[in-house]
Amino acid sequence: MISLEVTARFRACLRKEHLDRNAVFAAMQLAASAWGQPQLHSGRGIRRLHAEIYECRLDRATRLIFQPAPGALVFDFAGNHDQVRAYLKNLR
């Protein structure tokens, strides 16, 4: 089983956006269960955004950004479309 890890930035995003932690954890578990099975990625809302950066959808507006690591998915950011674009822009 692949483990789930979160960064301090991700925890700050959850607090700032007042996201339901149970729903976030459920979305993270769905992403982990589908990871490595490309046929399930689109059904789970997993999409590649950049070289090794992926997103999964929490709901229609909110996205969870993560990176794969050996044996884990590391969740680093949560936000809406515009916030995710700004996040990706700052990575360059």
- Residue showing tokens 């990706």: 88
* Percent of the chain with pLDDT strictly greater than 70: 93
pLDDT value, residue 37? 81
Strand ranges inside the chain, DSSP E: 3-6, 47-50, 53-57, 63-69, 72-79
Query: In whole angstroms, what is the distance from residue 23 CA to residue 19 CA?
Result: 8
Q: Sketch the domain layout of the chain as residue ranges.
A: 3-91
pLDDT value, residue 86? 96
- The CATH number of the structural domain formed by 3-91 is 3.30.2310.20
- Average per-residue pLDDT in the chain? 91
Handedness of CA 31, 88, 77, 16 (dihedral sign): negative
pLDDT digits (tens, 9 = 90+) for 22-58: 999 999 999 998 888 876 656 668 899 988 999 999 9
pLDDT value, residue 38? 73
